[in-house]
Amino acid sequence: MGLMTKSYAGCPSQSAAVSVFEQRLQMTRKKALVLDHLLRLTTLRNGHAPMRHDFIYDRRSIVMRRSDREITDYDDILELVKRCDVCRVAMFDEQYPYIVPMNFGYKVEDNGAMIIYFHGAKQGKKHDLLSKNNHVGFEMDISKPYEKGTITMQYESLVGFGDMEVIDEESERIEAHLAILRHYNDDDIQVSAEMMRNTCMLKLNVRHITGKRNLK
């Protein structure tokens, strides 16, 4: 089955993913409790795993050590997304993560849920990995000039996680393509049939996102 008509199903359950994390990262009791709290926050009332468009923005679910630098307002997070040019996506690749920097576009649904759109080839390593596990992490940032003589720099950054899938429906493929083009262009953009025919469109359903900044 071609990737244009393939959705990433059959990925590990939440309980299996938690087990892998516990084994590989040897979580401390405190971290395990935080993760358990997060999973309970993202569970529906009937006890099943979240549906595709469920969204949790609860900054209390993951504790940030430098809370003085945390971006706590969701509108501020959306504004930062608007100013970023590259989104780095991390996928599961057996022992080590596989990270790809990608151009992107996005939209925010009525319930506040964020969807990040990507485009790329119809086949390749990332598709192979996503077909096995579509749970991904992502990061985007804006860095300021480095100050000589210091060991840090000013920055604004976002990190989060969610699940990735291929977009099959033609109208949504066009919507995703336009979202990416508009993210980098102010003018009205037209999507050609050739562009759509030769491109695979992906979307990342964001489940959690946090922001951090260090500005003078």
| CATH value at residue 152 | 2.30.110.10
Q: What's the structural domain count of the chain?
A: 2
**What residues make up the domain containing 189?**
52-214
Q: Let me know if residue 7 belongs to a domain.
A: no
Q: Clarify whether residues 148 and 172 are in a common domain.
A: yes
Give the pLDDT of residue 193.
Answer: 74
What number of CA atoms fall less than 13 Å from residue 101's CA on the CB side? Answer: 5
**Count of residues in the chain:** 216
Please give the chain's pLDDT, 216 residues, in tens: 444 444 454 455 555 544 544 444 444 444 444 444 444 444 433 343 333 344 554 444 555 666 667 888 899 999 999 999 999 999 999 889 999 999 999 999 998 999 999 999 988 999 999 999 999 999 999 988 777 787 778 889 999 999 999 999 989 999 999 999 999 987 777 777 777 888 899 999 999 999 999 887
Radius of gyration of the chain (CA): 18
Q: Clarify whether residues 42 and 93 are in a common domain.
A: no
Q: Clarify whether residues 142 and 39 are in a common domain.
A: no
Give the pLDDT of residue 64.
Answer: 64
